[in-house]
């Protein structure tokens, strides 16, 4: 399903660059990332661990430790306000209020010494100026919304008294507590077993339909976003290497890296039913300033130009962008204007 071009843009990100100064040198974590998210759209962001997915999202709301991290450039317009240029005090009014964030590990994200009820009502008191009784009533509604049984009785329980799946549901409830316009979900199902993962995915689909919010879903698993996202953005070494409608990306991937990622997905029947494939080689050293295609050392289609120039993201068909010097579909070097 293609996103509606006439929809309002909730978030517009342009040329965000994030680096980390370490004892070993400067890490080039995010290298000029640009994208839009429209109202009601679910944008999937995929790629291997270390490709810059999480750092990009945390840069937008300044959740990175700074130092050693620093946002070198770029903008992120949200409701006419540049989040990158916004000071932390003003940003605190947006984080949790208008932009919800679901973190990877609920056990480390939830405070173990505070009750679930306190953590649920905190955002409501801060952003909505709710009274204690009103906030507690809303907290019960949120727990019921995300499928926590006996919600009223569980408010005074602590995180360790919940299962992993229920803790993740609590994290989702906290992120939704102030009815945000944008929800950023950073690999929210990675630590869960497949049964609980399926329940969380069904929950997100239901909540998105009911609430109509925009969602950025970050994951390393292309199988997760196949039936979830409207568009998919593939990242590698801090760059966007491909972006397309989910059906186009899965049926006709244009970048060798995307193609390789899809080949790693298991199939239950056909010629790949017996064997899983892997991507040979190692991710690039991000201490080096990127001046060529970062995937070229691992790419079977690499040729001379790939080792000398870093390709730029360009449209190759309607709604389909790729950053690659090789025309994968026609098996020849791409004609670039």
Tell me the per-residue pLDDT of 43-72, one tens digit each, with 9 for 90 and over.
Answer: 999 998 889 999 999 999 999 988 899 999
Q: What is the pLDDT of residues 98-135, one digit of tens each?
A: 999 988 777 778 899 999 999 999 888 888 888 889 99
What is the pLDDT, as a whole number, of residue 2?
41
The whole-number average pLDDT for the span 231-260 is 94
What is the pLDDT, as a whole number, of residue 336?
65
Among residues 229, 226, 245, which one has the least CA distance to residue 317?
245
By percentage, how much of the chain surpasses pLDDT 90?
A: 48
What is the pLDDT, as a whole number, of residue 280?
83
Q: Which residue has the higher pLDDT, 294 or 187?
A: 294
Q: How confident is the model at residue 202 (pLDDT cuts 50, 70, 90)?
A: confident
299's tokens = 């790419």
SS3 string of 206-268? HHHHHHCCEEEEEECCHHHHCCCCCEEEEEECCEEEEEEEHHHHHHCCCCHHHHHHHHCCCCC
What is the pLDDT, as a whole number, of residue 3?
44
Contacts 24+ apart (CB under 8 A), 229-232: 229/42, 229/43, 229/44, 230/1, 230/2, 230/3, 230/41, 230/42, 230/43, 231/2, 231/3, 231/41, 231/43, 231/44, 231/319, 232/43, 232/44, 232/45, 232/46
Stated pTM of the model? 0.88
> What's the distance, Cα to Cα, between the start and end of the chain in Å?
29
Q: Which residue has the higher pLDDT, 145 or 159?
A: 159
Residue 5 has pLDDT above 50, yes or no: no
Q: What is the pLDDT of residues 272-329, one digit of tens each?
A: 555 667 788 888 888 888 889 999 999 989 999 999 999 999 998 888 999 999 988 8
Q: How confident is the model at residue 193 (pLDDT cuts 50, 70, 90)?
A: confident
């Amino acid at each position: 399903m293609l996103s509606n071009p006439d929809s309002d843009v909730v978030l517009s990100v342009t040329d965000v660059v994030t680096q980390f100064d370490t004892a070993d040198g400067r890490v080039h974590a995010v290298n000029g990332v640009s994208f839009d998210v429209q109202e009601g759209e679910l944008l999937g962001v995929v790629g291997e661990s270390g490709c810059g997915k999480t750092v990009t999202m945390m840069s937008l709301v300044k959740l990175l430790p700074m130092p050693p991290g620093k946002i070198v450039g770029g903008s992120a317009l949200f409701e006419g306000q540049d989040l990158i240029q916004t000071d932390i005090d003003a940003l605190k009014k947006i984080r949790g209020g208008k932009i919800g964030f679901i973190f990877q590990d609920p056990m480390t994200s939830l405070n173990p010494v505070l009750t679930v009820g306190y953590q649920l009502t905190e955002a409501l008191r801060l952003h909505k100026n709710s009274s204690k009784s009103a906030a507690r009533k809303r907290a019960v509604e949120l727990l019921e919304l995300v499928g926590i049984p006996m919600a009223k009785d569980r408010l005074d329980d602590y995180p360790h008294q919940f299962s992993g799946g229920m803790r993740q549901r609590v994290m989702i409830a906290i992120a939704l507590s102030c009815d945000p316009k944008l929800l950023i979900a950073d690999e929210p199902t990675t630590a869960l077993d497949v049964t609980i993962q399926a329940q969380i995915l069904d929950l997100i689909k239901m909540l998105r339909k009911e609430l109509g919010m925009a969602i950025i879903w970050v994951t390393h698993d292309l199988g997760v976003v196949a039936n979830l996202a409207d568009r998919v953005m593939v990242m590698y070494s801090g760059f966007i290497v491909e972006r397309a409608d989910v059906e186009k990306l899965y049926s006709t991937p244009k970048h060798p890296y995307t193609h390789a990622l899809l080949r790693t997905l298991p199939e239950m029947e056909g010629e790949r039913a017996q064997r899983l494939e892997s991507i040979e080689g190692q991710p690039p050293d991000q201490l080096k300033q990127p001046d060529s295609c970062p995937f070229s050392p691992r790419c079977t289609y690499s040729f001379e130009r790939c080792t000398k120039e870093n390709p730029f993201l360009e449209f190759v068909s309607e709604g389909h962008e790729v950053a690659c010097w090789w025309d994968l579909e026609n098996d020849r070097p791409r004609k670039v204007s």
